[in-house]
Chain A
């Protein structure tokens, strides 16, 4: 039996189809993952993402430590602000992608993937040599993501005017602490919304309140198609330790300035840039009806030249879509091999969908 979140009973009561996800028993869907996808694009949905690993780091040396282990630079953060970043190995390979929140000058919160929990904690601990640095995994906390264009409106019935205003005033990648709730304007769907971190004991009651406010439970199936349409990478599929952020459409998350900040992986990334990037991550839209799948071959000029890293079906576009790692020289079209046959696909710069609308623009 896998690990269960505080909301497991709520999922069963809502007829969830439960699947194993990185050792957790998580809801795949509650009936129809396509319906849940549309619900988030058009209205509002709530996801249990309590399987994510929350790590609180405290101590005077935390900022210096994070400047070293993260490829993005925490010095741009003020208290209550968040940053998306990769954590790299010496070769520039991606150990994980994560969100780091600055809680206070010497207090940062990291939210990392559950599938990489063990190696992330091992890496952090191995590099956290200073005694003054405290690292605590917060298994006492649950996490809910409420996502969709109508979320803001629906929160009005759930909070008193003062805290409600504090939530609605949050800018993207900003967070606020309201009593026992830590609420951030972040997400993994490409829609507006919030992620709420709270004590496990309070999670079922909040879940019930959100559902009662017509924020519909949505499973990990919809979460995956939503993030793919939004062009957001999935760790372990679209990037891993064998590739760098530069090869993963994540060059924007690498902070090169100041030059003297010697973060782990920097040298390798600089060498890769000087040598010239050979591969990059692009979006593919299948031009005929069908579904793209992980590991299908991308064919350019008759040669197998790349591979789909995340393929699926876009409920919004009603087309097969994918992220694929391909030569940087790829043109506006390529072929994808599906069951031994080749089908044309358009090459685009992700995202596929922006604010609920088709955003597929061909790469020149």
Chain B
């Protein structure tokens, strides 16, 4: 079974979100990286760029397939994980840690609609059938 840490929140499109003070860190879930297989390329948003909630803002590609990453919130990109350009495999090895994609500071009044770990696990289970 793929891991779904309880302390994180999740989107229906298989991103995870961690909230530290007012900053959100975004990555893809263990389930998503397993489905994609070995990752070999990433495109990340420009630092300081502005994202709309639900906007396609990054791409992760495995040998097998490309997947769009959607911003869970409207906000400003404050940091991207540049280590991924050199080593996309970090996403496979440590999806909730070293494989994070970008950090975003949400605009005021925008709180994302996200799933808790239990809801996300249920969604993954339902997709398998």
Give A contacts to B, CB under 8 Å.
17, 28-29, 32-35, 221, 225, 289-291, 293, 312-313, 315, 320, 339
Chain B 32-66, CB within 8 Å of chain A: the 1/0 string?
00000110110000000000000000010101101
Chain B 80-106, CB within 8 Å of chain A: the 1/0 string?
000001000100100000000000000
Contact indicator B41/A290 (Cβ below 8 Å): yes
Contact indicator A293/B66 (Cβ below 8 Å): yes
Q: How far is the CB of A207 from chain B (nearest CB, A)?
A: 23
What CA separation (Å) do A34 and B40 show in the bound complex?
A: 9
Chain B residues lying within 8 Å of A289, measured Cβ to Cβ, are 41, 85
Contact indicator A221/B37 (Cβ below 8 Å): yes
User: Which of A32, A290, A293, A320 meets B38, CB within 8 Å?
Assistant: A32
What CA separation (Å) do A290 and B61 show in the bound complex?
A: 8
**A34 touching B38 in the complex, CB below 8 Å, given contacts A221-B64, A293-B66:** yes
Known contacts A29-B37, A289-B41; can you find 9 more A-B pairs with CB under 8 A? A32-B38, A33-B37, A33-B64, A34-B63, A221-B37, A221-B63, A290-B61, A293-B66, A313-B41
Q: How far is the CB of A331 from chain B (nearest CB, A)?
A: 26
What CA separation (Å) do A29 and B63 show in the bound complex?
A: 12
Looking at A34, A221, A315, A320, the one whose CB has the most chain B CB atoms below 10 A away is A34
Chain A residues lying within 8 Å of B41, measured Cβ to Cβ, are 289-291, 313, 320
What CA separation (Å) do A320 and B85 show in the bound complex?
A: 14
**Nearest 9 Cβ contacts at the A-B interface:** A34-B38, A313-B40, A291-B61, A313-B63, A291-B41, A32-B38, A290-B41, A33-B38, A33-B63
Chain A residues lying within 8 Å of B64, measured Cβ to Cβ, are 28, 33, 221
What CA separation (Å) do A300 and B103 show in the bound complex?
A: 39
Listed by A's residue number, 26 A-B pairs whose Cβ atoms lie within 8 Å are: A28-B37, A28-B64, A29-B37, A33-B37, A33-B38, A33-B63, A33-B64, A34-B38, A34-B40, A34-B89, A221-B37, A221-B63, A289-B41, A289-B85, A290-B41, A290-B61, A291-B41, A291-B61, A291-B63, A313-B40, A313-B41, A313-B63, A315-B40, A315-B63, A320-B41, A339-B59
What CA separation (Å) do A221 and B37 show in the bound complex?
A: 10
What CA separation (Å) do A315 and B37 show in the bound complex?
A: 13
Chain B 55-79, CB within 8 Å of chain A: the 1/0 string?
0000101011010000000000000
**A313 touching B61 in the complex, CB below 8 Å, given contacts A289-B85, A291-B66:** yes
Chain A residues lying within 8 Å of B61, measured Cβ to Cβ, are 290-291, 313
User: Which of A17, A290, A312, A339 meets B63, CB within 8 Å?
Assistant: A312
What CA separation (Å) do A220 and B40 show in the bound complex?
A: 18
Chain B residues lying within 8 Å of A320, measured Cβ to Cβ, are 41
* Closest A residue, CB atoms, query B85: A289
What CA separation (Å) do A119 and B40 show in the bound complex?
A: 37
User: Which of B40, B85, B89 meets A291, CB within 8 Å?
Assistant: B40
Q: How far is the CB of B100 from chain A (nearest CB, A)?
A: 19
Q: How far is the CB of A350 from chain B (nearest CB, A)?
A: 18
What CA separation (Å) do A73 and B63 show in the bound complex?
A: 37
* Closest B residue, CB atoms, query A29: B37
8 Å CB interface, B1-51 against A: 37-38, 40-41
Chain A residues lying within 8 Å of B89, measured Cβ to Cβ, are 34
Q: How far is the CB of A292 from chain B (nearest CB, A)?
A: 10
